[in-house]
Structure 1
Amino acid sequence: MKKEDLKDVKQLLSAPKKIVIVPHKNPDGDAMGSSLGLMHYLKKLDHDVAVIAPNDYPQFLKWMPGDPSVMIYEKTKKNADTLINDSDLIFTLYFNALHRTGDMETSLKNSDSIKIMIDHHQQPEDYAKYVYSDVEMCSTS
């Protein structure tokens, strides 16, 4: 991410926004941990934040603070689509291509929200206005 882009993102976060955070389908500990960690940080900045996972994830990850607030797209498609469409910003975490969100892909593609990708995989798709992708890192967290 360029220095100017970082300034832009900081400016975007300077006033309360409606924000959606999306991990990849079949989320693992890194995807859920980074999503919930970002959620807590953004809530402390007075943003309205929702984490929407494409599908359910293993029970052994449900201990994480904030887990009860996670929406499962497969179970709450209508409400999740409304949140996605009404959001100002969408953070996508731990994936580099929208097809990794399964059934959410169309909703995310059709959203006019500003998208911010945070990832570490090679060759990210060009779907986000702001991209922080560091392939030298072993995880997104």
Structure 2
Amino acid sequence: MLDFSKETLKMFCILPCKAKKSSTHTRILSIYKGDRFSVMEQCKRTREIEIWVTKNKIGNGDDGDDVVWIKFMTVSIPNFPLVLNHYSTSYFVDDNIYGKSFVLCCPTKKPKQAWVYIVRGDLYKKIKIDEVVCKFESSVFVPSLITIP
């Protein structure tokens, strides 16, 4: 987290997947329900994905000391794509009347294509984004934790 008053970077909280090496796992941070964090981690060997969300809302003035992570879901689908730790990769998760869902938007190397994957339980759907055939960019909005007067 950037502390604008001191112009320094400081750690906000410890991720739940801290013991695993980045050379064997890909991690991506996102937002859950607009006011919580979510982190996705994929094992590069098994391609299994684990997703955690913060238990409570993250608000202005929080220093990260009290952040509690809970496991949201695990995705174990054979032949699921290897998620690239790439600026074009984004995801979101939801828990509603239909159950827990995971939506991933990411590029693939071969063929160079953009895809959206929708996962619910043991089922998933793969949707090709036709208008994008090579490099594409996506982003996720992360609200500020600091009120600007």
TM superposition score normalised by structure 2: 0.23
TM superposition score normalised by structure 1: 0.23
Structure with higher RCO (Cα < 8 A, 6+ apart): 1
Query: When you count strand as a share of all residues, which structure comes out higher?
Result: 2
Larger radius of gyration: 2
Query: When you count helix as a share of all residues, which structure comes out higher?
Result: 1
